[in-house]
Chains A and B, each alone.
Chain A
Amino acid sequence: MTSDTDQQRRGPHPETDAAPLPPRSGATAPDGIRPRGDDAPHGAGSGGAARRTRHGKGLRGLRRPLGIGIVTLWLSVIVLLPLAALTVAAFDEGLAGFWEAVTAPAALASLWVTVLVSAVVALINAVLGTLVAWVLVRDEFRGKRFVNAVIDLPFALPTIVASIVLLSLYGPNSPIGVELNATRWGLVVALLFVTLPFVVRSVQPVLIEADREVEEAAASLGATTWTTFRRIVLPTLAPAILSGTGLAFARAIGEYGSVVLIGGNIPRETQVASQYIQQQIEIDRPLNAAAVSVALLAIAFVTLLLLRVVSSRSQRREERDA
C-alpha cells in the first residue's frame, strides 16, 4: 500500500545526476569508483519540484544561502582547492613546461603501460565479468549465495592487502611456481582482482530484469542458443557491460595500492603512471608529478564522459523504442 501511494507521488526527477550506469545490487565499493545507478534521485517528495515549502529553522537553513554556502565552502576546501592547486602547479612553467613533463620518455612510457594494462584488464573483465554474472543469475548450484557475496570482497579489501594477498601466491617463492611479480601480467592480475566487481555488479541486475520471453520467442523462431545470445541477450546487456568495463578501466588507470608491491616499478616495463607520479614527488620534481597527475585525471574524465554520452544515447534509443 505504502509503496503504491509513494510511487504515485513521485514523478521522474529532472536533475538525475551522474546516472548513466545500471542499477547496482548490493555492491558499493569502499575503495575508488564503484558501480552505481539506482541511487540517482527518484523525484522530489510530495510537494513537487516547483513547490517552495517551508520547515522549521534547522532544515530551512540548509536551503538558505548560509547552509549552501557552508556546504560549498566545505567541498571547495576538501576537493576543489587541492585539485585547483594541482592544475596550477602542472602549468607552473606554462603549457610548454606541462607538455615537456608529460612527454618525457619515462612519463610517456608509464602512461602507455597504464593505459595498455588497464585496457587489457577492462577487456578481460568485459568477458569474464559477464560470464560470472550470467552464471550467478541463470545457473543454480550449491553455495551460489556465498559466491555472490564473495564478489564484493575486492571492494571491501584494502588495496595494499590485495597486493600482499596476490604476492603470497604469485610472488617470489610462489607455492604454485607461477611468479608474476615485476611483470605486466602481475599488474594485470592485481588489477583484475580489484576491478572484479564492476562488470559483474552492473550486468547482474540487468540480466535479472531481462525479459526471458523474448529469448524464448527467439528460440521458438528457430534461433540457436548462440544466435539467441548474440542477437538478443548481448544487445540487452551491452550498455551494462560497457559501463562496468568503463568503470573498471577508470579505476585501473588510477590504481596504486594493489600494484605497488607486485608491479616491481621497473621504468618503461611495469611502472604505471601512479608509481611514476609518486617517484617524481620523492625526487622532488613536483612539476612532473603534477603534470602527469593532470594527464591521468584527464584520461579518467574523458573515459567517464564517453561512458555518460554512450549510455545516455542508448537510453534515449530505448525510450524511443518504448
Chain B
Amino acid sequence: MRVSRGTRLSLRVVALGYLFVLLAVPIGVILWRTFEPGLSEFIASISTPAARSALNLSLLIVAITVPVNVVFGVATALALVRGRFRGRGLLQAVVDLPFAVSPIVVGVSLIMLWGAGGWFGALDRAGFQVIFGIPGMVLATIFVTLPFVVREVEPVLHEIGQEQEQAASTLGANGWQTFWRITLPAIRWGLTYGVVLTVARALGEFGAVIMVSSGFPGVSQTLTLLVHSRYIDDHNTYGAYAAATLLMGIALVVLLLMTLLDRKRSDR
C-alpha cells in the first residue's frame, strides 16, 4: 500500500502523539515530581522504616514465589508436553485460567477458601492465619503468576523434542542426570524469561494482594500497598510518587531484561 507523504506524516504524528500523551508525559511528570525536591529527598522517602519493611516483604514474597513456581512450573510443563493422559486439555485450560481472572476476584476466592469462614477456615481458627497474613499474600501471588513459567517453558520443550534426552540416556545418564545436564540447560532461557515475568508480576501485584493483606505499615505492606496507603491513608503524595518511581525503576530493569532475553531466546 503506497501512502502519500502527507498521510504518512499525519499518521505518524497521531500515533506518536497518542503514545506521548498516554505514556511519555505522565511518566515524565512523575519523574519530575519525584526528583524535583532533590535526590536526597527521594532516598529519604524510600528508606523510611515502613518503606524498608515493604521492600523486604515484597522481596520475601518474590523469594518464596519464584522457586515454587520454577519447580511446579517446570513439572507442569513437562507433564503437559511429554505426558499422554486423559484430561490434559483440561489441565492446559486450568493453567491459563489465572490470566482470565480479575485480581480482585482472586482475592475474594482466596478469602472464600482460606478465610475464617471459608472451606479451610478450621486452619484459621486453629491459629494458622492465611488470609491477612503472609501465607495469603504468597498464595495470591502464586495464583496470578502461575502461568508464566509453564507458558514460557512449554514451547521450548516442544521445540527441543526428546532426542537429546534419549541420547543422554543411551550414554548412561539416569533421569535426574538427564534433567540437570540436558533438559534444564536447553530450557534455561525460556525458564529465565518466565522467572523474570514472575518476578515483575510478583513485585507489582496489587489487587489480589490488597484483598488478603491486613495492610499494616511495617508488617504486611508490600511496595505496591505502600504506594496505595501513602496516597490514600497518609495523604503523602510525594511519598507515593517516590515509591512508585522505585517500582518503575524495577519495571524498567525488567523490561530491559525481557528485551535482552528475547534476543537471546531467538538466537538459540
Q: Which 7 A-B pairs have the closest CB atoms?
A: A45-B161, A254-B102, A58-B175, A158-B204, A56-B175, A82-B109, A256-B207
Known: A156-B251, A165-B30. A33 touches B99 (CB 8 A): yes
Q: Are B83 and A62 in contact (CB under 8 A)?
A: yes
Q: Are B247 and A169 in contact (CB under 8 A)?
A: no
Chain B residues 152-191 with CB under 8 Å of chain A are 152, 154-155, 158-163, 165-166, 169, 173-179, 183
Identify the stretch in A11-19, A96-104, A309-317 within 8 Å (CB) of chain B at 4 or more residues. A11-19
Q: Are B159 and A42 in contact (CB under 8 A)?
A: yes
Q: Are B98 and A30 in contact (CB under 8 A)?
A: no
**CA distance in complex: A225, B238 (Å):** 50
Q: Are A164 and B154 in contact (CB under 8 A)?
A: no
Task: Indicate which residue in A26, A147, A289 contacts B262 across the interface (CB closer than 8 Å).
Answer: A26
Q: List chain A residues, Cβ under 8 A from B39.
A: none
Q: Are B175 and A274 in contact (CB under 8 A)?
A: no
Interface flag for B27 (CB, 8 Å)? yes
Chain A residues 47-80 with CB under 8 Å of chain B are 47, 52-53, 55-63, 67-68, 70-72, 74-75, 78-80
Q: Are A52 and B83 in contact (CB under 8 A)?
A: no
Q: Please, what's the 1-or-0 string for A183-225, where 1 marks a CB less than 8 Å from any CB in chain B?
A: 0000001001100100000000000000010011011000001
Task: Tell me the minimal C-beta distance from A301 to chain B in angstroms.
Answer: 7
Task: Tell me the minimal C-beta distance from A46 to chain B in angstroms.
Answer: 5
Known: A53-B162, A293-B105. A26 touches B117 (CB 8 A): no
Most buried by A among B95, B177, B232: B95
Q: Are A55 and B175 in contact (CB under 8 A)?
A: yes
Interface flag for B123 (CB, 8 Å)? no
What are 14 A-B pairs at a CB distance below 8 A?
Answer: A6-B161, A17-B93, A28-B152, A30-B198, A45-B161, A62-B83, A67-B78, A68-B83, A75-B91, A86-B113, A156-B255, A165-B29, A225-B7, A281-B108
Interface flag for A85 (CB, 8 Å)? yes
Identify the stretch in B13-21, B40-48, B49-57 within 8 Å (CB) of chain A at 4 or more residues. B13-21
Interface flag for A108 (CB, 8 Å)? no
Task: Tell me the minimal C-beta distance from B96 to chain A in angstroms.
Answer: 5
Interface flag for B60 (CB, 8 Å)? no
Interface flag for A261 (CB, 8 Å)? yes
Task: Indicate which residue in B26, B87, B210, B247 contacts A168 across the interface (CB closer than 8 Å).
Answer: B26
Task: Indicate which residue in A43, A75, A153 contacts B95 across the interface (CB closer than 8 Å).
Answer: A75
Most buried by A among B15, B205, B248, B258: B15
Task: Indicate which residue in A67, A128, A192 contacts B79 across the interface (CB closer than 8 Å).
Answer: A67
Interface flag for B112 (CB, 8 Å)? yes
Q: Are A256 and B240 in contact (CB under 8 A)?
A: no
Interface flag for B211 (CB, 8 Å)? yes
Task: Tell me the minimal C-beta distance from B28 to chain A in angstroms.
Answer: 9
Q: List chain A residues, Cβ under 8 A from B102.
A: 253-256, 273-274, 293, 296-297, 300
Q: Please, what's the 1-or-0 string for B70-107, where 1 marks a CB less than 8 Å from any CB in chain A?
A: 00100110110111110111011111111111111111
Q: Are B118 and A300 in contact (CB under 8 A)?
A: no
Q: Are A277 and B105 in contact (CB under 8 A)?
A: yes
Known: A26-B258, A30-B200. A233 touches B1 (CB 8 A): yes
Q: List chain A residues, Cβ under 8 A from B231.
A: 164, 167, 261
Interface flag for B62 (CB, 8 Å)? no
Size of the chain B interface, CB-CB below 8 angstroms? 119
Task: Indicate which residue in A31, A68, A166, A296 contacts B201 across the interface (CB closer than 8 Å).
Answer: A31
Q: Are A74 and B72 in contact (CB under 8 A)?
A: yes
Q: List chain A residues, Cβ under 8 A from B193.
A: 28
Q: List chain B residues, Cβ under 8 A from A306.
A: none
**CA distance in complex: A216, B26 (Å):** 40
Q: List chain A residues, Cβ under 8 A from B207.
A: 159, 256-257, 260, 274
Q: Are A225 and B3 in contact (CB under 8 A)?
A: yes
Task: Tell me the minimal C-beta distance from B74 to chain A in angstroms.
Answer: 9
Task: Tell me the minimal C-beta distance from B263 to chain A in angstroms.
Answer: 9
Q: Which residue of B lies closest to A36 (CB)?
A: B151
Q: Which residue of A lies closest to B168 (CB)?
A: A56
Task: Indicate which residue in A141, A149, A196, A212 contacts B259 across the interface (CB closer than 8 Å).
Answer: A149
Q: List chain B residues, Cβ under 8 A from A34.
A: 99
Q: Are B247 and A57 in contact (CB under 8 A)?
A: no
Q: Which residue of B lies closest to A164 (CB)?
A: B244
**CA distance in complex: A196, B37 (Å):** 31
Q: List chain A residues, Cβ under 8 A from B89.
A: 15, 17
Q: Are B178 and A165 in contact (CB under 8 A)?
A: no
Known: A165-B30, A193-B23. A135 touches B11 (CB 8 A): yes
Interface flag for A177 (CB, 8 Å)? no
Q: Which residue of A lies closest to B212 (CB)?
A: A281
Interface flag for A139 (CB, 8 Å)? yes
